[in-house]
Amino acid sequence: MRKLFGTDGIRGVAGEYPLDRRTVYAVGRALGHHLPSGVRRLVIGQDTRESSAWITDLLSAGLRDTGAQVESAGVITTPGIAHLTHTHNFSAGVVISASHNPWQDNGIKIFGPDGYKLPDRTELEIEEEIFTQLNSSATAPEMCDTSSLPGNATLRDDYASWLARSISSGGPIKTVVDCANGAASNLAPQVFRQCGISADFIHNSPNGRNINEKCGALHPEVVAGEVASRKTDLGISLDGDADRALFADHGGKVVNGDAIMLLLARELEQHGHLANNLVVATTMSNMGLEAALSRSGIQMLRAPVGDKYVLEEMKKSGAVLGGEQSGHIILSELATTGDGLLTALKVIEIMARTGKPLTELVSDLKVFPQIIKNVRVLEKRPLDQIPAVQSAIDAAQRDLDGTGRVVVRYSGTEALARVMIEAESRTKMELHATAIAEAIQRALG
């Protein structure tokens, strides 16, 4: 059983285990030992949290102590590192980021030489080596020279240029982009400028502690309000590491990842690029998406929550499009992971080509009412082994009986249990979501 890696790398409070100095250094040494023999080159990038610099330097020190060569791309998005890893023939890529989490948190994400996140088996092997390092006499350096890894602007420019080449035209679409004071704060303006897209940028002044703070993909209503007040055609909300994006239409209505998957699926199908007429979503995607895709002759498969699991199902089924309601969208013919900027550019390209607003392009998506309750937990015991919780879940499933769905799971990145219920009846939805959440609270809260 994994003790360090969650659904998206190692994550926690910066300075506390497993992101204390000794463990971060051990992660660097373990990763360095795991790399194949020969020339071992890694690229590392970071988001804008104040802890990202020292974590980057300490991890790099551990890597270099094993003989690995480390090159920094500086502040860059997670998908930027994934792209650079495989296009520049690095042995691995590392991102220091906690994505949508608050500034106090941070994380370590690792990509293999192919630009894909590591499979669970490989993460377990690295975990074992990390614990071996922690049990040895190796200790973290007292100080790290933060000037030892200056960001290579050429690497960031290469990624920005690739993004700009990914679309034919941005047309006359006027856009407002919320950068969440995160990794895209400088990159997004560069990319949109290269594409010739008219855009205003907000929350692009990071100070180390304002990443995701009342902005970005966690608060898409912010950019929706800006769209309405500025009278732009589109709003885009990125998260801290810009691996996902949410949108707002010209009327200021939030548009989530389900609607964007519908839009992209139809675009790919129209041009003969939707392999096997398949889309991979997750257990959290709305039943309305499945119905809308079906009307277009497109089948939807569901994977567990987490973009790495979406990608695994895409590889297994041969699908080229997958994603999450939260805005992670994977276009596997172009990228190896979710990329918020790439998704945004593709949406703009479709709007420009068709001359239609986003709201019209997804107008037939009829969303079933859905509620999500988060319960903070002290431990993550198997829910099916807690009789009161399982009883509440069973009661909800019996009552809904084909007119809704119940999904109860633990967050892979936080100490939370998530209760999601989707149903035609809002009354039943509220009733059962509350009952299940209260049962979890009593047992684990």
Active site members: 99
Do 415 and 436 contact (CB within 8 A), yes or no?
no
- Residue 174, SS3 per DSSP: strand
Distance CA 303, CA 79 (A): 21
Pairing assessment for the beta strands 9-13 and 5-6 based on DSSP bridges: antiparallel
Residue 347: both structure tokens together: 């949406």
What is the Cα–Cα distance from 314 to 306, expressed in whole angstroms? Answer: 13
Residue among 266, 304, 287 at smallest CA distance from 418: 304
Q: Is the alpha carbon torsion for 178, 183, 185, 188 positive or negative?
A: negative
Helices assigned H by DSSP within 175-306: 187-195, 220-230, 257-270, 287-295
Closest to 357 in 3D by CA, of 231, 242, 272, 268 = 231
Distances, alpha carbon 227 to alpha carbons 210, 220, 221, 250, 360, in Å: 22, 11, 10, 6, 16
